[in-house]
Amino acid sequence: MKLLQSLGCWLVHCRPNVFRRRSIAFRLILAVLAVELISAILSVALSFGFERHIHFHAMDVILHGRVDSILGAVQETGNGRDEIVLVKAVLQLPAHDVYEIFDGDGHLLARSTNWQGMPLDTPFPPQGPFLHRIINGSEYRILRFQGSRLIDGGKPSGGRIHQFTVFYGGRTEHVWEAIRASVELYATGNALLLLVTGPLIAWLLHRGLLPLRQLASLASGVSVDSWDFNPPASARDTPELAPLTLAIESVVQRLERSFLQQRAFVSDAAHELKTAVAVVKSSLQLLGLKPRTAEEYQAGLERCLSDSQRLEDLVIKMLTLARAESGSPSNGGAATSNLEGCLRQIIAELSTATELRSVQVNLAVAGSIGVPLAADDCSLLFTNLVLNAVQHSAPGSIVDIRVDTRASGAGLQVEIEDHGEGIDAAALPHVFDRFYRGDPSRTRNTGGTGLGLSICKAIVHRAGGSIAITSQAGLGTTVTVQLPLDVVEAIRE
């Protein structure tokens, strides 16, 4: 038991230090060997208890048989006084055994010569008529037997029943030796089993973890220059590794997509900024080619100022997109906005543009509803979407804005529908890409900066929602914005 307690203490208190910076295979091997060692110890302990019970039970049977031999050797003296004696001549008992016998009145009938005897009132354990005593330097197991026997039952009188108390003891040395031999056999077998299974377990675990090492090796080869990640079939087919394999594949694919998008963004941003700077530079160079009048310088400076304003707008949109994609709110902390008030204010601000294009904007909203967007983000999001709808609507047409909290299980839904020229089917999958313009000329007059819808998508995704565009060329376009139901319900006024 002390060994088991020490092992348990080691596993509880010392295991973190031993397992620190160790491989999974080492930890598993050590854990399995520890379990096997505990099992071996328990097996030896159980074998000890079992062998002790079996051998002492056999000894007890032998002691009972020798007590019966002693009782069988009790006879009457034949002197007519109804006395009984123990006839030792008929006994064949081991020389080292001890015994003594008392009659019903407590008188000693006989005792072995190698024992001083014990009192009749000696207390015995309640679980059985046996106790252990040291006699002549050796341990003895002593049986106390109390019973009766019919003496001379063949007489005409039928004989007489006598009561007896017999103490009989035998050495336990041979019993303990047999128990020790059996336990040593069990211990040796368990030790050999540990020696054989230890290396076998190490080999099996090493082989079993091969898919994991292959997976790690492939993952370590992924870099910005190489995104190839083809996990082995053993990793995909292993139930414990399949989720990890899918997770790594998904992460690598998202990283590759994000890296390519970032690279494209940097390239497009450099192109846009280079073009804007080149325009400003050419305007200044044109002014310096020859002396000009004050009016010409004034007109040239105004063109430079207009070009610089476009450059500033582009930089502001790039910063807005970076902020929206980073997840940092514009005014700090979580915020909500009144969607109805935001949309009505946007419609009022765009009234000039709608009048110039003869477009009517209709708003259908059921009361005041809060959205999980900061005021600036809400205004920027729906201003971009409504302005796009107005700019691409046919003169005299209608732009419908519908707000519904029951149209989708996802929660709040805002639809902005125009009846303009629509979007070409080939361009539709790319409308949210940065710097993408459906017009291949990429001019400022027809294409803008190509960041408006990218900013809208980033704002909606940061709020936990989704945005989608459906369109048919020549019929119009519908933009659908959805926000999570739990968020919407928590902030609804």
pTM above 0.75, yes or no: no
Written as one letter, the residue type at 50 is: F
Q: At what angle do helices 173-208 and 24-72 cross, to 10 degrees?
A: 160
Which tokens go with 135? Answer: 């006699």
Which of 107-121, 258-272, 299-313 tops mean pLDDT? Answer: 107-121
Q: Is the Cβ–Cβ distance between 366 and 401 less than 8 Å?
A: no
The domains of the chain are located at 224-326, 334-491
| pLDDT surpasses 60 at 3 | no
64 HSE (CA, 13 A, CB side): 9
Higher-confidence residue: 155 or 2? 155
Higher-confidence residue: 439 or 484? 484
Q: What is the pLDDT of residue 12?
A: 46
pLDDT band at 331 (very low <50, low <70, confident <90, very high): very low
Burial class (CB in 10 A: 0-12, 13-18, 19+), 492: middle
pLDDT band at 281 (very low <50, low <70, confident <90, very high): confident
The pLDDT > 90 percentage for the chain reads: 19
DSSP category for residue 223: B
Q: Is the Cβ–Cβ distance between 170 and 95 less than 8 Å?
A: no
Which of 114-118, 259-263, 338-342 tops mean pLDDT? Answer: 114-118
Q: What is the pLDDT of residue 299?
A: 82
Q: What is the pLDDT of residue 10?
A: 47
Identify the helix (H) or strand (E) that includes residue 110. strand 108-111
Fold of 224-326: Helix Hairpins (1.10.287)
Q: Give the residue among 388, 33, 446, 343 at the shortest CA–CA distance from 199.
A: 33
Q: Do the domains spanning 224-326 and 334-491 agree at the CATH topology level?
A: no
Beta bridge partners of 164: 103, 147
Which tokens go with 377? Answer: 């983000």
Q: What is the pLDDT of residues 416-432, one digit of tens each?
A: 999 888 888 888 887 87
Q: How far apart are the first and last CA of the chain?
A: 68
| pLDDT surpasses 60 at 35 | yes
Q: What is the pLDDT of residues 45-73, one digit of tens each?
A: 999 999 999 999 999 999 999 999 999 88
Higher-confidence residue: 103 or 278? 103
User: Strands 337-338 and 160-171, how do they pair?
Assistant: unpaired
Q: What is the pLDDT of residues 362-420, one digit of tens each?
A: 888 877 777 888 888 888 888 888 888 888 888 888 899 988 876 555 578 888 999 88
DSSP category for residue 450: S
Q: Is the Cβ–Cβ distance between 395 and 469 less than 8 Å?
A: no
Helices (H), 73-143: none
The pLDDT > 70 percentage for the chain reads: 81
Mean pLDDT taken over the chain? 80
CA dist 435 and 274 (Å) reads 14
Q: What is the dihedral of CA 451, 452, 458, 460, to 10 degrees?
A: -170
Higher-confidence residue: 438 or 187? 187
Higher-confidence residue: 331 or 25? 25
Which tokens go with 122? Answer: 């000696």
Using CA atoms, how far residue 403 sits from 283, 285, 335, 350, in Å, is 47, 52, 20, 19
Identify the helix (H) or strand (E) that includes residue 264. helix 242-287
Q: What is the pLDDT of residue 144?
A: 93
**Mean pLDDT lowest among 173-177, 305-309, 451-455, 483-487:** 483-487
- Give me the phi and psi of 203, to 5 degrees please: -65, -45
pLDDT band at 90 (very low <50, low <70, confident <90, very high): confident
Q: Is the Cβ–Cβ distance between 53 and 60 less than 8 Å?
A: no
Q: What is the pLDDT of residue 445?
A: 44
Using CA atoms, how far residue 122 sits from 59, 118, 129, 130, 131, in Å, is 21, 7, 11, 11, 10
Using CA atoms, how far residue 294 sits from 227, 286, 299, 307, 357, in Å, is 59, 14, 9, 20, 37
Q: Is the Cβ–Cβ distance between 451 and 384 less than 8 Å?
A: no
Long-range (24+ apart) CB contacts under 8 A made by 284-293 are none
Q: What is the pLDDT of residue 312?
A: 72
State the average pLDDT over residues 29-56. 91
Please check whether the domain covering 334-491 is classified as CATH 3.30.565.10: yes
Burial class (CB in 10 A: 0-12, 13-18, 19+), 461: middle
- Give me the phi and psi of 425, to 5 degrees please: -60, -35
3-state SS assignment for residue 467: strand
Q: What is the pLDDT of residue 260?
A: 76
Q: What is the pLDDT of residues 287-296, one digit of tens each?
A: 777 788 888 7
| pLDDT surpasses 90 at 177 | yes
